[in-house]
Every structure is written in C-alpha cells, then in structure tokens.
C-alpha cells in the first residue's frame, strides 16, 4: 500500500511539473514581440501655432528572440516621421516680419536597442528630406484649410529641398530610490547626434514617480513583451549643446534658401508627463518646454500624445 501511495505521489509530482512547464511556456509564448505606435506632437492646444508646430510619428518595434549579446533584451524599431516648423507670424509674406524660416521634414529611422536591468543603449540611423519635397508644408496647409478651419500658413521662404542622413546614440543608467508601488527612480541620460540635419550633445536627468518596471520591461524605454501594469509621472531636464540645426540655418554653405537664421549653441529643455501601461496597451501624455532656439525666437511649448498596441 505504501509503495502504491509513493507511486501516486511520484506520478502527481511528475504531472504537476509537466503542467507547470507547459503553462510557463504558454505564458512566454503569449508575450508580445511586436508593437505599432502612433505619436502626435502639437502646440495648437496650448493656443499657439508657431516654431515646432506639429509632428507625426508612426513606429513599428520588434523584440529579438536571439540578439547580439547574451545578457540583455534587444529590439529593432522602424519609424516614419513628419514634422513642420513655422514662424510666429504665419500670415505674412514679408521676410522682415518673419522670426524663423518655414521648415518641413519627413524621414525614416531604423534603430537597435539593448536594455538591461539598469542600463539602456539605443543606436539609430535617420534618412530624410527637408523642404517642399517633404510634404510637411502641403499637409499642414490642407489640415488647416479642411480640418481645423483656421489661418492657413503661407509657407513663404521655406527651407529648400535637401537630403539628410544622421546617426544618433542614446544611453541611460538608473538608480532606484524607493520600490513600487510608490516607486522613485532617478535616471541619468546622454544623447548625441551627428549628420547633415542635426549635430548635438545632450545630457539629461529624469525622475520617475509611481509604479514602474525596470528598464528592460518599461514603457519609459519603449520596451515590449512585458504586460505588468505601469502608471507613473515623469519629470525631465535637458541641456543641449548644438553644433548644427539644418531646419534653422539650412544645409551648409551651399544652401540657397531665401531666409535662414543662426541657431543658439545651447538650449535648455524640460517637461513632464503621465505614462500608463495596461496589458498590451501603452498610453503616454506629456508637456514639453523649449527655451529660445535662436536669438530671434522666444520660448516654446507643446504637447505630446502617444498610443502603442503590442501583439
């Protein structure tokens, strides 16, 4: 009898182990490996329509099953963006009344990222077009004329057509000051870009307050796969050292744009936002403030709203 009981116990143990393993594999298989997101930037809701006026970003992300490094989570991302920059006076066709040139940009970005528990590395390449060929000016005029029914920007003196290529790197490390659910994290980040469109170096400090996952699982770094709930507040400060801004100064000495201005060499930025992940849905809402990007300009602010769906 005792041997029979031992046999049953042994069989139960084996069966339970098999069921647990299968369940764990099913849970892993349910983890998302892909995400599509849409982001929109706009200053119109803050009752302005100038400088960085609007931006649209469509992004696809893919989590890699096998990456380059054994330790860490790797992802690929591909993004289309279109951005429009306008002067304060969008009705005039007199250069003397403009404080910056019109500039449109459309581009494609491809990137690779490595996320670990407390560090993050993102390398990106960007190619795109500035000027009328970008379509940003035509789209904004159509949108103002047919959707919002407000003044249609003239897009007079737009930066001329140019092809751009840029290389960008982002790196971040974090420290946990308090655990979830009332977590406090502090991040130190550095970003840099070099190319025909932008050249800059930007240190940044960010604070995260609330329920947030580690770097390799968090929407703070656009990580997909995890579905742990996140809801937190973010506050960040940036200081950008600028070597080139082609959407203000044109594309070098051979640029024949009718009107350009010289960008400031240093620009301060700050912002705050609310971020939430619920199952496979990512929601982001933030406010951004920019100091004067050139002597002719004033400060600027805009809102960013984003939604991502993993699958």
Residues 6+ apart with CB under 8 A from 289: 269, 270, 271, 299, 300, 301
d(CA 245, CA 107): 15
Structure-model confidence comparison of residues 179 and 21, the more confident one: 179
How confident is residue 70, by pLDDT bands cut at 50, 70 and 90?
confident
User: How is residue 171 written in tokens?
Assistant: 């790196």
Asked whether 307 and 38 are in contact (CB, 8 A), the reply is yes
Residue range 134-147, pLDDT digits in tens: 999 999 999 999 98
**What was the pLDDT predicted at 46?**
78
Q: What is the mean pLDDT of the chain?
A: 91
Quick: pLDDT tens for 279-310: 999 999 999 999 999 999 999 999 999 999 99
pLDDT at 30: 62
* Distance from C-alpha of 57 to C-alpha of 307, rounded to nearest angstrom: 11
pTM of the predicted model as reported, rounded to 2 decimal places? 0.88
| Residue 251 near residue 130 (C-beta atoms within 8 A) | yes
Q: What is the pLDDT of residues 84-113, one digit of tens each?
A: 999 999 999 999 999 999 999 999 999 999
- Inform me whether the pLDDT recorded for 223 exceeds 90: yes
Give strand ranges (E) for 64-182: 73-86, 103-115, 119-130, 162-178
Whole-number Å distance between alpha carbons of 82 and 84? 7
At residue 14, the pLDDT reads: 52
C-beta contacts of 76-80 below 8 A and 24+ residues apart = 76/110, 76/111, 76/112, 77/109, 77/110, 77/111, 77/112, 77/113, 77/222, 78/108, 78/109, 78/110, 78/111, 79/108, 79/109, 79/110, 79/111, 80/106, 80/107, 80/108, 80/109
Distance CA 100, CA 196 (A): 19
Task: Tell me what pLDDT residue 25 has.
Answer: 41
Q: Which of 285, 233, 280 is nearest to 63 (CA)?
A: 280
Predicted confidence (pLDDT) per residue in 2-54, tens digit: 444 444 444 445 545 444 444 444 444 467 999 999 999 999 877 888 999 99
């Amino acid at each position: 009898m005792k041997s029979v009981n031992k046999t049953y116990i042994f069989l139960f143990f084996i069966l339970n182990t098999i069921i647990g393993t299968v369940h764990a594999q099913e849970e892993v298989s349910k983890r998302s490996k892909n995400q599509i997101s849409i982001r929109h930037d706009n200053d119109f809701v803050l009752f302005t329509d100038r400088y960085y006026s609007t931006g649209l970003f469509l992004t696809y992300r893919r989590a890699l099953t096998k990456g380059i490094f054994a330790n860490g989570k790797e992802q690929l991302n591909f993004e289309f963006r279109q951005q429009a920059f306008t002067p304060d006076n969008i009705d005039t066709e007199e250069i003397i009344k403009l404080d910056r040139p019109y500039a449109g940009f459309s581009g494609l970005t491809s990137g690779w990222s490595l996320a670990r528990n407390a560090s993050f590395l993102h390398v990106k390449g960007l190619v795109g077009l500035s000027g009328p060929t970008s379509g940003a000016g035509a789209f904004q005029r159509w949108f103002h004329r047919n959707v919002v029914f407000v003044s249609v920007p003239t897009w007079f003196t737009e930066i001329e057509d140019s092809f751009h290529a840029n290389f960008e790197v982002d790196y971040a490390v974090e420290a946990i000051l308090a655990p979830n659910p009332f977590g406090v994290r502090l991040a130190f980040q550095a970003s840099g870009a070099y190319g025909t469109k932008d050249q800059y170096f930007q240190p940044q400090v960010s604070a995260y307050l609330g329920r947030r996952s580690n770097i390799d699982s968090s929407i703070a770094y656009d990580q997909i796969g995890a579905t742990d709930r996140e809801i937190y507040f973010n506050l960040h400060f940036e200081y950008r050292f600028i070597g080139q801004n082609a959407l203000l100064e044109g594309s070098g000495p051979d640029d024949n744009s009718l009107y350009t201005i010289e960008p400031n060499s240093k620009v301060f930025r700050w912002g705050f936002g609310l971020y939430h992940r619920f199952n496979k849905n990512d929601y982001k809402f933030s406010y951004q403030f920019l100091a004067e990007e050139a002597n002719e300009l004033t400060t600027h602010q805009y809102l960013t709203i984003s939604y991502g769906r993993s699958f």
